[in-house]
Structure 1
Amino acid sequence: MPSSRLCYFLTTLIPSSVFLSAGVAASLPSPCTSLSTVLPAQVFFPGTEGYNTSISSYRYVQTRLLPACIVKPRYAQNVSKIVEILGRHNSTRFAIRGGGHNVNPGFANIENGVTIDMRDMNTVDISRHGEVVEVGAGALWGHVYDVVEQRGLSILGGRVASVGVGGLTTGGGISYLSPKRGWVCDSVKNFEVVLSNSSIVNANATSESSLFAALKGGQNNFGIVTRFDLKTFPQGPIWGGTITLSNASDTALLRAFTMFKDPSSFDPHAHVIIIFMYDVAQQSFFSLNNMWHSKPNGSKKALQGLLNVGPQINNTIGVAYAGEYAKISVMPVPQNARSQWATTTFAISPTILFRVHKIWRSASIRLGQKFQKANLVSSYTIQSVPPPPPGSRPNSLGFSPYANPEKDLVNFLVLFQYEDPKATQELQDSILGIINEIDKIAEVEGIKQRFKYLNYAHWHQDILGSYGQASLQRMQKVAKKYDPVGMFQNQVVGGFKLAP
């Protein structure tokens, strides 16, 4: 294990007081005591209802870590005070939770340190003219859709209503309308950010512009975002839904998606997500053919091949607002469920999807036979990569403004959900092994891509490095400027960290 990863595990498993000398520890109150003195109604300790409610709300067992305390700010000024106190206790590790959807342990919660739970900062206010919606960092996408769609407007938002705005947006973000409008992060007009010196700044195209660009894909390396000002635009209901298919349709579905990804037939209004699944308990392979089109009455020629795949077990295609589709996408999980995911990106070719499918299916059968009682569900998802922002409006994701990744690149996500903790190590090795095999095949075919999508990545993966050296160096420069003490590199141990 690399030393940085070893450091991560040590700092999340060992109480912060261990890192203080006996004399210093004796002279300082604990960070939780300091926080509760300043924000008494917003700090929760183990055994209290507020603490237990927060921990139990994480979807997966591996993310229900037990911090020394949880602090729930309500305003940016509260976050500023929290950062000031944690800066004085600079050996204390802490985590920042938005929606808490990420499956990587330690990314939105921490063992023995301090978890800042942003979910009380969930206001959604739309401007008088409807051009911008101001969204608190703890808001969920379902609430944002509710507000903007009442005005006949929409946003580049998440496709699952229960996902938090903060993590998805700072990690890039893919939306129903991304093929035409790009990454979710590029719809941000302004970030309100608390820096490591506890100051509150606004980062946008004209003020703190380097920080503005770095936050678009750089996630928690620079400060704590407390508010997102998102651009809105007119948009009525969209066409779409899900077609459920048996594994007898796999070849036809893969062929149809390959044709859909032909750059010559690109439709900027069409968005497709194909999900292949294997439920070990049911011994069942099946697929979900999800598609949407932002023009309900427009031509669906690009989607026709996918629409024709059958026989169809179920078909929910209709017309609804994006927010309604996002609410339908919220799926319950078993109380004892664990999860892992990993990602890669490759360009389309006539053969790549069939080779990928064979790798995943073989691994799923092998793991299902070994872990028959783990309630294992294995799945993978394929979809398009959004376009970069045009002109001189940079983000941190590393694509040239002249590139067209939306036309030929495929984002791949593999996910395991299971209940037996004894299966964790082998499933981790297997999920990373699947990614490694796919990358090798893509390299042989000459279609391997450097970029990997942060919001789907396993913590072992080098995500910020996948943006390219130029982007990485820009982010490092921004981090040194806005966080010279390294608070968000050293005290916030979760997330994908910038290399020194």
Structure 2
Amino acid sequence: MTRSFSSHLSICLLPAVLLLIHAAIASDPSPCDPLSALYPDQLFLPNTTLYTSSISSYAWMSGHLQPACIIQPQSTSQLSFIIKILADFNTTFAIRGGGHNANPGFSNIDNEVTIDMRGMRQIEVGDGVLRVGAGALWGEVYDAADAKNVSVMGGRISTVGVGGLTTGGGMSIFSLDRGWVCDGVKNFEVILSNSSVINANATSNPSLFRSLKGGLNNFGVVTRFDLTTFKHGPIWGGTTLLSNASESDLIREVTNFKMAKHDPSAHTVTIFGYNLPDKSYMLLNNMWYLKPNANKTSLHGLMSLEPKLNQSLVVASAGEHARRVATPIPAGTWALWGTTTVSISPTILFKIHEIWKSTSSLITSKFPASDINFAFGYQSVPKSTPESGPNSLGIPSTAVPERDWVNLLVTFQYQDGALTSDLEAILLGAIDKVDGIAREEGAHVKYKYMDYAHWKQDVFGGYGAEEVERMKGVAQDYDPLGMFQHQVTGGFKLF
């Protein structure tokens, strides 16, 4: 009842609001006034409690920008009209889902308009599908799935948003068996730049459907994801903390795991962390097995490593595992991410590890008293032959990334924002060194995982020229105004 009344009210107010829009454009080119007139309870202005709460809810300080106003739509019909207003004003704007991406400007903006999708978090359980509002978090999705004794191809951290992770490809506990998170989408509901609402799936707008699976925000605003559900029982897994004396053993076992016969039930994320100013090391091995017992499996070597400083292993649903991984981020934390991909060999991870060690020494000499956490993380790349039809990631059909490829995530977390420029150069420099070593070994892979990429990295270049040209054509067909290339400034762009 509430939603239909809201839509009826918008229609009744439409003539008056259109007059207000035209007057505002003539006098002051800001869309915040007509948005406030139409949706007064959903528009947040600076120096108000709701505005401050929205800004402070971003995971990293890079998201703490200052828009002229924040609008939080509650339905697709409301957002459709908001898009029309923003098109009329030709204003730049940001689209915020979970607010977890570390790249500045990807989900917030200074001095313009931010659309906060968190008002659209409705989840409906259908026949073999979960219909999920684009502002939902993965923990909310798993709650709905667990209640029906099903699961979905979802994120591994409960506090991450559905929208950005999925349209960037997305990795899941189920990825080595079922593919990318985007491959689990059966249908996208999308608002185009002309404010029309369409569905994209295998039979309706199939070119757009493919492009949204890895093409991010280049085509429209996704308002709902219809996720395919499947029956799945309890999953074994958790986290082991190892002593830094285990560095070489851990690299060896990760290499052995990758080079052994592929096991689609086994999923690992291995992290080598270094903390300043106390010069401490953190070796974390996250493991999941898609069955209740992982004994005598491909994970045996990783499970056997000693000495263990701490270990937390459970048999639980995918949702419970995602909640256990979601550790709080300290207030005031800045972050930088970057990524690359290599093909496994007997020596490549040992050589990359030397770059982690030399970079740790570099930041110790340059910033000895700073509060910095630096990490390299390794994991397998998802299966690339989805049964749901092609995605836009450009991974060759002849590749077997779940068996052969390793994703590397390089991260900095720190408390002093003034260090950003220097740490950014170090991060990108370390990735360049990794790519150089990989080329020497014949292990270089062009593909870069969008959801981990630094904004200066050429993500679409890794998709391949043919796929990029195809997506450009789709963008021109569905967004002839170029709104999502020029007005939505955040994200990786095709043009």
Residue 447 of structure 2 is matched in structure 1 by 451
Looking at structure 2, the residues matched to 183 and 71 of structure 1 have their Cα atoms a distance apart, in angstroms, of: 31
Once the two structures are superposed, residues 312-337 of structure 1 have per-residue CA deviations (whole angstroms, 9 ceiling, x without a partner) of 11111221111111111112222121
Helix, strand or coil for the counterpart of 1:411? strand
Of residues 247, 251, 263 in structure 2, which corresponds to 1:250?
247
CA displacement 1:193-219 (0-9 Å, x = unmatched): 000000000000000000000000000
Offset, 1:259: 0.6
Q: Is the 8 A contact 1:244 1:287 kept in 2?
A: yes
Q: Distance in 2 between matches of 1:392 and 1:208?
A: 15
Distance in 1 between the 2:274 and 2:27 partners? 56
Alignment of 1:323-338 (within 5 A): 323-338=319-334
1:360 deviates by 1.2
Q: Please, which moves more after superposition, 81-90 or 274-283? A: 274-283
Report the secondary structure of 1:217's partner residue.
Answer: coil
* Aligned match for 1:354, one of 350, 354, 363: 350
Aligned residue pairs: how many?
A: 473
Q: Deviations over 1:255-274 (max 9, x none)?
A: 00101001x51101000100
Q: Match of 1:482, as an amino acid?
A: Y
Match of 2:402 among 401, 406, 423: 406
Kept in 2, the 8 Å contact 1:44–1:51? The answer is yes
Report the alpha carbon displacement of residue 28 of structure 1 after superposing the two structures with TM: 4.9
Q: After superposing the two structures, state which structure 1 stretch, 24-33 or 186-195, moved more.
A: 24-33
Whole-angstrom CA distance in 2 between matches of 1:71 and 1:239: 41
User: What's the counterpart of residue 235 of structure 2?
Assistant: 238
Greater displacement, 479-488 / 295-304:
295-304
Counterpart residue number, 2:65: 65
Give distance in 1, aligned partners of 2:387 and 2:285. Answer: 34
Equivalent position amino acid for 2:490 in 1: G
Distance 1:155 1:295 in 2: 16
Work out whether residues 186 and 389 of structure 1, in 8 Å CA contact, stay in contact via their aligned partners in 2.
no
Shift in Å, 1:41: 1.6
3-state DSSP class of the match of 1:288?
strand
**Shift of residue 341 of structure 1?**
0.6
With 359-368 and 77-86 compared, the bigger mean Cα shift is at: 359-368
Q: Percent identity?
A: 53
Matching residue's letter, 1:34: P
- More displaced 10-residue stretch of structure 1: 242-251 or 28-37: 28-37
Determine whether 1:167 maps to 2:186: no
Change (3 A) 1:331 1:298: closer
Paired with 1:342 and 1:393, the residues of 2 have a C-alpha distance of: 29
Contact 1:192–1:228 (8 Å) recurs in 2 = yes
User: Following superposition of structure 1 onto structure 2, how do residues 115-264 of structure 1 map, counting pairs within 5 Å?
Assistant: 115-127=114-126, 129=127, 131-262=128-259, 264=260
Aligned counterpart for 1:440 among listed residues 431, 436, 441: 436
**CA distance 1:335–1:205, shift in 2 (3 Å):** same
493 and 133 in structure 1: CA distance in 2 versus 1, 3 angstrom threshold: same
Per-residue deviation, residues 421-447 of structure 1 (Å, max 9, x unmatched) = 221111000000010000000001001
Q: Deviations over 1:334-371 (max 9, x none)?
A: 21210101000000011111111111121122213322
Deviations 1:114-147 (A, max 9, x none): 00000010111111x4x00000000000011011
Q: What residue in structure 2 maps to residue 290 of structure 1? A: 286
Q: Does 1:422 align with 2:421?
A: no
The alignment status of 1:314 with 2:313, answered yes or no, reads no
Inter-partner Cα distance in structure 1 for 2:138 and 2:372: 28
SS of the aligned residue for 1:166 comes to helix
Q: Is the 8 A contact 1:390 1:402 kept in 2?
A: no
Residue 11 of structure 2 corresponds to: none
- The offset of 1:78, in angstroms, is 1.0
Q: Indicate conservation of the 8 Å contact 1:391/1:401, yes or no.
A: no
Stretch of structure 1 that moved more, 340-349 or 309-318 = 309-318
Q: Distance in 2 between matches of 1:235 and 1:384?
A: 21
Which residue number corresponds to residue 393 of structure 1? 389
Distance apart, 1:494 and its partner CA: 0.7
Residues in 2 aligned to 1:410 and 1:260: alpha-carbon distance in whole angstroms: 11
Structure 2 distance, partners of 1:357, 1:298, is: 27
User: What residue identity is the alignment partner of 1:266?
Assistant: H
Q: Could you tell me how far 1:391 is from its partner in structure 2?
A: 6.1
Matched, 1:376 2:375: no
CA 1:293–1:138: 2 relative to 1, 3 Å = same
Pairwise CA distance, 1:400: 2.8
Counterpart CA distance in 2 for 1:24 and 1:466 is 43
Q: In structure 2, what residue type is equivalent to 1:101?
A: H
Aligned 1:45-60 pairs, distance under 5 A: 45-60=45-60
> TM-score, normalization: structure 2?
0.93
Give the whole-Å Cα distance in 2 for the aligned partners of 1:226 and 1:391.
24
| 1:146-188: CA deviation from partner (whole Å, max 9, x where unpaired) | 1111221111111110000000000000000111010000000
What's the CA shift for 1:300? Answer: 4.2
State the SS of the aligned residue for 1:413: strand
Deviates more, 1:416-425 or 1:157-166: 416-425
* Cα displacement (A) at 1:63: 1.2
Instruction: Verify the 8 A CA contact 2:183 2:386 in the aligned structure 1.
Output: no
Unaligned runs of 5+ in 2: 1-22
Residues in 1 aligned to 2:148 and 2:441: alpha-carbon distance in whole angstroms: 48
Asked whether the 8 Å contact 2:236–2:294 carries over to 1, the reply is no
Gaps of 5+ in 1: 1-22
Q: Quick check: 465-474 or 98-107, which moved more?
A: 465-474
- 1:468 and 1:38 map into 2 onto residues whose CA distance is 44
Shift in Å at residue 392 of structure 1?
7.7
Of the candidates 454, 460, 476, which is equivalent to residue 456 of structure 2?
Answer: 460
Query: Contact conserved, 2:183 with 2:388, CA < 8 A, in 1?
Result: no
Alignment check: 8 A CA contact 1:387 1:403 kept = no
After TM superposition, give the deviation of residue 480 of structure 1 in Å.
Answer: 0.1
Deviation at 1:399, TM superposition (A): 1.5
- State the alpha-carbon separation in 2 of the partners of residues 245 and 100 from structure 1: 31
Measured after TM superposition, the shift of residue 25 of structure 1 is 5.8
Q: Secondary structure at the match of 1:380?
A: strand
Q: What's the CA shift for 1:291?
A: 0.5
User: Structure 1 counterpart of 2:139, which letter?
Assistant: G
Which runs of at least 4 in structure 1 moved beyond 6 Å after TM superposition? Answer: none
SS of 1:112's equivalent in the other structure is: coil
Q: For residues 465 and 365 of structure 1, what CA distance do their matches in structure 2 show?
A: 32
Taking only aligned residues, the RMSD between alpha carbons, in angstroms, comes to: 1.4
Residue number among 459, 470, 489 corresponding to 1:493 in the alignment: 489
- The whole-number CA distance in structure 2 between the counterparts of 1:34 and 1:242 is 50
Counterpart of 1:86 in structure 2 is: 86
Tell me the amino acid that sits aligned with residue 420 of structure 1. D
**Could you report, residue by residue, the CA deviation over 1:53-76 in whole angstroms, capped at 9, with x for unpaired residues?**
100101211210000000000100
- 1:168 and 1:132 mapped to 2: Cα distance? 18
Report whether the alignment pairs 1:74 with 2:70: no
CA distance in 2, matches of 1:27, 1:241: 58
Distance 1:478 1:401 in 2: 21
* Distance in 2 between residues matched to 1:142 and 1:422, nearest whole Å: 33
